[in-house]
């Protein structure tokens, strides 16, 4: 019962908030959240006493309609502020909430662009996306950010204030601006996926849910012609390839499994095929985004063979990626590809130039590159990596490397 309710909440919360907000405006988004939360509270009480109805989603939509009408009429918000702004056709429909699949899809797409408005700080956009678009509870968001409920509530409050003060509307940007605004939307989806895939929380269910929600939002964009662009498909391909190896990255004992030791039988072949499908779709047009390059690299990682050709191609892709979108992590990954393609000494010379002293992946790589050349330095860097690592699975993996080298 509880599990089914939680699943329904995550599935329907965002749809209901989006539809209510579309009709009454983003300035009432917190009211929309409260109405939907009250609806689910009533569902919990009623269904525990009487059992789950044959069509629980329809039951939720009906109660949400009743509560919404009651709230806005009771507070005279409808007559004083909303009705004057409605068109004649809307007035005749008495501003009826429309929970059709088409309207839900349109409302969520418009909400996605509203939440990912550049006026809102990037971190707050992710929090809003998790809450409003993915239906995550405050506790889950706090855990994902390794924070507390109070800090998350403050962050979300400030973000919603921005929605109001900037008078951000729930509508798609003009066609001339969609491509530019889409970059920000894709970036937030990318960050949301990364929060799950490179998560520092111990909750594996939460990690997977974050990734799946990011993929769902990406797929939502492909259903609309103006946002179904090559870079959108490239991002979805990238997420499919990474998600395909999710179950192989950790053991049942929560030990992190490095790529070389992963059991290929645990890779999700369906997701790999989907990744290739979206990668093919991304090949249309002239633009090569960072998502294209990262997706091609991720595609190579779904082929276990360890050939020189594989790593040479990955190295060239990283060289391109550094030109398109430089970051220390890309430079670090490029150095690992250089090691696999050209050997330890060449990669070591490049690695020492990076000087990413507070990055445990950097010291982990140096530990690998110094192995057999200067085992003392290798151990020193592995110990630094251990000290800097934030999660227990990472620390366990590094401890095993130290044991083997010792």
Task: Specify if 10 maps to a domain.
Answer: yes
Higher pLDDT, 43 or 179: 43
pTM beyond cutoff 0.85: yes
Asked whether residue 67 is assigned to any structural domain, the reply reads yes
Give the residue among 44, 76, 394, 65 at the shortest CA–CA distance from 250.
394
Give the confidence band of 391 by pLDDT, cuts at 50, 70, 90.
confident
pLDDT value at position 92? 35
Instruction: Check if the beta carbon of residue 108 is closer than 8 Å to that of residue 18.
Output: yes
Q: Tokens at residue 80, please?
A: 């004083």
How does pLDDT run across 311-357, given as a tens digit for each residue? Answer: 999 999 999 999 998 999 999 999 999 999 999 999 999 999 999 99
Count of domains forming the chain: 1
Q: Which two tokens stand for residue 205?
A: 């269910």
Which whole number is the average pLDDT over 14-40? 93
Instruction: For residue 250, list its beta bridge partners.
Output: 256
pLDDT at 190: 94
Q: What is the pLDDT of residues 362-386, one digit of tens each?
A: 999 999 999 999 999 999 999 999 9
Q: Which domain holds residue 45?
A: 1-99
In a domain, 26, yes or no: yes
pLDDT at site 196: 87
**Region 49-57 average pLDDT:** 93
pLDDT at residue number 144? 85
Q: Is residue 4 a part of any domain in this protein?
A: yes
CA distance readout (Å), 158 to 33, 103, 145, 193: 16, 28, 17, 23
Cβ atoms of 77 and 28 closer than 8 Å: yes
Q: How far apart are CA 194 and CA 22, in angstroms?
A: 29
Terminal Cα distance for the chain, rounded = 52
SS3 call for 250: strand
Compute the average pLDDT of residues 94-104: 83
pLDDT tier at 227, thresholds 50, 70, 90: very high
Tokens 């044991």 correspond to: 403
Q: Residue 83: its pLDDT value, please?
A: 58
H or E segment to which residue 303 belongs: none
**Non-local CB neighbours of 24 within 8 Å, separated by 6+ positions:** 31, 32, 68, 72, 77, 82, 95
pLDDT value for 178: 87
Above 80 in pLDDT, residue 64?
yes
Mean per-residue pLDDT of the chain: 89
Does any domain span residue 358?
no
pLDDT at residue 86 greater than cutoff 70: no
Query: Residue range 227-233: average pLDDT?
Result: 95
Query: Which stretch of DSSP H or E encloses residue 14?
Result: helix 2-24
Specify the pLDDT at position 373: 95
**Quick check: 386 and 395 in contact, CB under 8 A?**
yes
User: Domain for residue 52, yes or no?
Assistant: yes
Among the residue ranges 68-82, 96-110, 170-184, 340-354, the one predicted with the least confidence is 68-82
What confidence tens digit (pLDDT) does each residue in 278-311 have? 999 999 988 899 999 999 999 999 998 888 899 9
Q: Is there a contact between 361 and 350 (Cβ–Cβ < 8 Å)?
A: no
> Is residue 89 assigned to a domain?
yes
List all residues 6 or more positions away from 211 whose beta carbon is below 8 Å from its beta carbon: 193, 196, 197, 239, 242, 243, 246
The answer to the question of residue 262 being in a domain is: no
pLDDT tens track for 137-154: 899 899 888 889 999 999
- pLDDT value at 108 more than 90: yes
Burial of 316 (0-12, 13-18, 19+ CB in 10 A): middle
pLDDT of residue 253: 59
353 vs 84 pLDDT, higher one: 353
Position 94 confidence tier, pLDDT thresholds 50, 70, 90: very low
pLDDT in tens, 253-279: 566 677 888 889 999 999 999 999 999
The contacts of residue 129 (CB under 8 Å, 6+ apart) are 112, 115, 116, 188, 189, 192, 217
- How much is the pLDDT for 89? 42
């Amino acid at each position: 019962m509880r599990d089914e309710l939680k699943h329904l909440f995550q599935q329907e919360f965002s749809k209901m908030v989006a539809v209510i907000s579309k009709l009454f405006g983003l300035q009432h988004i917190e009211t929309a959240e409260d109405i939907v939360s009250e609806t689910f509270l009533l569902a919990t009480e009623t269904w525990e006493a009487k059992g789950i109805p044959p069509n629980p989603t329809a039951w939720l939509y009906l109660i949400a309609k009743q509560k919404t009408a009651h709230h806005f009429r009771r507070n005279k918000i409808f007559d004083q502020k909303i009705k004057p702004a409605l068109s004649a056709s809307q007035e005749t429909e008495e501003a009826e909430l429309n929970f059709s699949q088409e309207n839900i899809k349109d409302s969520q797409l418009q909400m996605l662009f509203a939440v990912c408005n550049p006026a809102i700080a990037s971190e707050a956009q992710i929090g809003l996306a998790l809450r409003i678009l993915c239906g995550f509870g405050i506790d889950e968001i706090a855990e994902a950010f390794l924070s507390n409920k109070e800090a998350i509530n403050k962050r979300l409050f400030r973000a919603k204030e921005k929605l109001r003060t900037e008078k951000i509307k729930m509508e798609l940007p003009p066609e001339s601006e969609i491509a530019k605004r889409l970059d920000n939307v894709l970036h937030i989806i990318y960050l949301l996926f990364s929060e799950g895939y490179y998560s520092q929380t111990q909750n594996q269910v939460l990690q997977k849910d974050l990734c799946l929600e990011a993929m769902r939002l990406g797929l939502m964009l492909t259903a609309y012609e103006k946002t179904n662009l090559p870079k959108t498909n490239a991002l979805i391909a990238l997420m499919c390839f990474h998600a395909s190896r999710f179950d192989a990255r950790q053991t049942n004992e929560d030990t992190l499994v490095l790529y070389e030791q992963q059991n290929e039988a645990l890779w999700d072949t369906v997701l790999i095929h989907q990744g290739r499908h979206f990668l093919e779709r991304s090949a249309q047009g002239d633009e090569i985004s960072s998502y294209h390059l990262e997706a091609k690299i991720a595609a190579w990682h779904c082929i276990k063979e360890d050939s020189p050709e594989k790593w040479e191609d990955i190295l060239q892709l990283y060289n391109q990626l550094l030109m398109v979108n430089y970051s220390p992590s890309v430079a670090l990954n490029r150095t690992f590809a250089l090691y696999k393609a050209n050997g330890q000494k060449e990669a070591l010379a490049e690695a020492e130039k990076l000087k990413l002293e507070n990055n445990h992946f950097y010291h982990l790589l140096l530990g690998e590159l110094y192995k057999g050349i200067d085992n003392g330095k290798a151990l020193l860097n592995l110990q630094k990596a251990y000290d800097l690592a934030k999660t227990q699975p990472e620390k366990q993996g590094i401890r095993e490397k130290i044991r083997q080298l010792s």
